[in-house]
Structures are given as C-alpha cells and as structure tokens.
C-alpha cells in the first residue's frame, strides 16, 4: 500500500482563531473540526494532532512487530 502524506492541523477547540489564514474542515480519522491553512497542498490526508500522534505510535509498533518476524 503506498504511503500518503499527512497534514497535521490544529483543532478548532485548541485554537479559536487560527495562527495563519485557514479554512475549517474535518479530521479524516475522528471527524473533529480542524483549521487547514489556505496555502496547504490538497493531496495529503488532513488530521488533527491527536490522530496524527496516534497514527505515528501505531506505525512504529507495526514496524517493530514486522522486524521481529523477520
């Protein structure tokens, strides 16, 4: 499965006013409202920081498990 870039965005409940000009959309994993910068690329998955961190942790665990099987 090809890897996909991920854009980690601030949740609306973490920053009522975004630090840069942004639009509001939803995290692709949990559905939380997030701020996406206007100048961000369109291709990456858009996620909140909590889901991005969780995804990183899970990816690291999977890599360790597959290394142990070899």
- Residue 41 domain-assigned (yes or no): yes
DSSP of 5-48, one letter per residue?
-EEEE-BTTT-SS-SSSEEEEE-TTT--EEEEETTS-SSSEEEE
- Residue 11 domain-assigned (yes or no): yes
- Residue 34 domain-assigned (yes or no): yes
pTM: 0.70
- Residue 19 domain-assigned (yes or no): yes
- Predicted confidence at residue 61, as pLDDT, reads 41
* pLDDT tens, the chain, 70 aa long: 456 688 899 999 999 899 999 999 999 999 999 999 999 887 888 999 999 888 777 754 433 333 333 3
Range of the domain at 11: 6-69
- Residue 46 domain-assigned (yes or no): yes
Q: What pLDDT digit, counting tens, does each position of 35-55 carry?
A: 999 998 878 889 999 998 887
How much of the chain exceeds pLDDT 90, in percent? 49
- Residue 1 domain-assigned (yes or no): no
- Residue 20 domain-assigned (yes or no): yes
What is the number of structural domains in the chain?
Answer: 1
């Amino acid at each position: 499965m090809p890897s996909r870039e991920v854009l980690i965005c601030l949740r609306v409940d973490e920053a009522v006013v975004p630090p840069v000009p942004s639009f509001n959309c939803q995290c692709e994993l949990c559905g939380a409202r997030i701020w996406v910068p206007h100048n961000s690329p369109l291709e990456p998955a858009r996620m909140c920081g909590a889901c991005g961190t969780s995804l990183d942790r899970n990816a690291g665990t999977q890599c360790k498990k597959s290394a142990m099987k070899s």
